[in-house]
Structure 1
Amino acid sequence: MSIRGAVMVPHPPLIIPKVGRGQEVGISATIAAYEKAAQHVAKLCPDTVVVTTPHSVMYADYFHISPGREAEGDFGKFGAKEVRIKAKYDIELRSQLCSLLDRDGSMAGTRGERDSRLDHATMIPLYFLEKQQVRYRILRIGLSGQTLEAHYRLGEYISKAADILGRNVVMIASGDLSHKLLEAGPYGYQKEGPEYDKRVMQAMGTGNFGDLLDFPDDFCEKAAECGHRSFVIMAGAFDGTSVKSKRLSYEGPFGVGYGICTYETVGKDNTRRFLNQYEEMQRQKLEHKKASEDAYVRLARKALETYVRTGKMLVIPDDLPEELRSKRAGVFVSLKMHGRLRGCIGTILPVTDSVAEEIADNAVSAGCRDPRFTPVKEEELDQLVYSVDVLGETEEIASPEELDVKEYGVIVSKGRKRGLLLPNLEGVDTVEEQISIAIQKAGIDETETGVKLERFRVTRHK
């Protein structure tokens, strides 16, 4: 077990005295805990410190691992250019990690470097570690827009690479918590902010890392968290490992949550295969959901699966309910995977002879022709969750006051430009948001006047 331990730390620039200029006294508990965390890392005598950072290069579908022999940075953007940090990279560990990732087709590597300078989320923990006069090299890894499961697996790869080389490695999971703790704070308040911090500190403080995987994207977005995926990578590095965890501090006096915990490896523990457990739980949930699907959703699923596996359109079955075979209506088919949208295509007005044909055509389009996504692969089919919306009649309205985001969808149009947004969508809480998104989809300038509004109801099948 080459992963010797880890620390979870925040990265507020004002914690550096020449940046804070006295303001740092407001987070004195965090400073004291940071010193203890640095001492903890030093005690573990790492050959290499792996820093996961939200402020390095970040891509939607790719983990960036910093290239080069060494890097440096300073706090000039925070008014303290004289405070500089320099570090050497562990080239051999990086090469081994990239080799493992490449072999398995993971979207990660050293390509796409945009700025070689160390970011503040990396420099702040190294600033405290320098005081301990420890000799070490680093690996700097950015986050990505990939799933939490992908971040956890990256941590597993880090552990494998360290084991192959016999490196003593300590993980530094750099990340602030919610930025939405105080109305008077720089980012305002959302009720999800304190809730997020409470849940994360419970999971991190007890070492119950499996809980980190059960945080929906929309919840994390509303909480405006910074470091969640950084913590998940660290959790993956401890997969199947018992750890001694210690919560050192938590505070958020400026409206941003700062939490510090330390971890030390104890030994192997196969009951702590958190990703396996989570994926099995999700598989069971999906099987239960499939068993309860109605004829509309079953038809959408069968249509897409047939097309992906054979390249042919489904022949509409004869045993469908009468309303599917005889009625005509616009239909939208939405696909989700791991809680994220995987495709959504629909028709405002019917273009086929029946709702059944409309569903089949749009299911294939949602899975294979949505320009925002790559076509669904066969191995993804069992992970998809379907939603079918059958649109009712549209009616023109005079003002947004006649809308209700839960009850009505909206269609906006001007000239040949037209955009639609379905009702009752996660993350769309106000009529203003609903109209704004529809206008963006239509390609209409938000400053334009004379935009026509229509509303409609849907019958949603899930």
Structure 2
Amino acid sequence: MRLGRFQQWEFAALLAGLLLISQSLAGEKVRESVLAGSWYPENPLQLAKVVDGFLDDPSDAQSKVKKPLRALIVPHAGYMYSGPTAAKAFKLVRGMDYKRVLLLAPSHYSVFKGLSITDVVAYQTPLGSVPLDHVAVQQLRRSPLVSADAKAHKREHSIEIELPLLQRVLESGWKLVPVLVGQMDDEAYPQAAKLLRELADEQTLAVVSSDFAHYGKRFGYTPFPLNDETPANIQQLDGGAIERIVAGDAKGFLDYQQRTGITICGFRPIALLLHMLPVSAELEQLAYKTSGQLTGNYENSVSYVVIAVNVPTAIAGSQGSDRRLNSEQFKRLHQIAVAGVRRAVLDDKHEGEQLLRNLPPELERLSGAFVTLKKDGMLRGCIGYIRPRDPLFQAVLKNGGNAAVRDHRFPPVTPEELEELEIEVSVLTPPRPIAHFEAFKVGQQGIILKKQGRSAVFLPEVAVEQGWNREQALTYLARKAGLPADAWKDGAEFEVFYSEKYAAPYGPSHETAKE
């Protein structure tokens, strides 16, 4: 006899209960639900019905988000508030056969440093038991960054709230790596990212659990008064954070959080994910909602955001030339660029030799790179390589000098100008072809146009600085190539690439370089 849908769930719940009993008898620890009956229904049939209702919402437009999905940023409030928004993310992976979910979440009730994974074999929800990936957890526990803070996990909702949704969308057989992210300093982010990135293979979905701005006296955060403009102010506040996240700008996001004090409870897990991602990752905002919209009362309001992450290859398998540099590596590159400028301007071939010793391997990989010089905010020189042909440090050293004295659009930089310069280093991913110009993500990607033996290139920031849309950027690109303004519309070939940049004044970097 074939069981009906809810009969199947009754049977599954019974089996899950038996499994939990057998685990308990075996002396194994299971993290029991602390949210059932409050944050979501306790009855498994009712819970399944509620979650499926969110997932089957016919009002949702068909998403055009690019696959394969490697990561999701989702909210974690009670289902009556954030459930419909979170479901917009999870429905994108419905029926997928991921073998592992790497779930990064904030700690609301305990303060600790680094990462924490609770000492259990499974998480329990009314829909059954979710086993931990024992091998992956043991691998992480070898790092001094990882602890097992029992107090932090005891009441924490940010991991558990995502599990029933995952249980309803993923094919059975997946295992969980539940990571609470505690206090992190600048050095801890790249270290933790490297540790976690190894787990983010083709069969792993990374999920970051976070709500966004918590506005109101209840949360101790009222950066603007409660009035008719509050909804728009909240959205603008969230928008600044979302803009930096979608740009993949971990440093900019953390700086924004510190400057505004925005109460994004999962800002550390979000920043950690951004550190994990390669430059080629494409992040897209899919949904935005506030509890104020749902209740009609903005006296206390929490924001819910969904962001999807696509990476052409698995995060763990991204090419070395596609990996993001950390802040210390970029500072070192900037110092090398300064040395390159000084070598050319002061005719000193030995300037900065000490900077080229004991380089990290990330600076010795083959990579495209540009060095841009600005004076009083105006371009003063810009030269680089689009395609990898030299080790990164050499590309930056050479192009620092080239930008200073070999950019034929400008006279050579003089020694008297050095202290007035701002020097910007851009590190590029290898270009890849796109089938049509509509695939060009203006402001996020650099672009190369080729037609009739002519070519031209723009770095990603050019369109941003000029305020161009796609059509305007392509029009100016065609003109730069010496072609008619509309030459991009037919018969042209395009390649795109991503760029990370670091800019700083000449002075401080040079002082550091002399130490």
The TM-score by the shorter chain falls in which range?
0.3 to 0.5
**TM norm structure 1:** 0.47
**TM norm structure 2:** 0.42
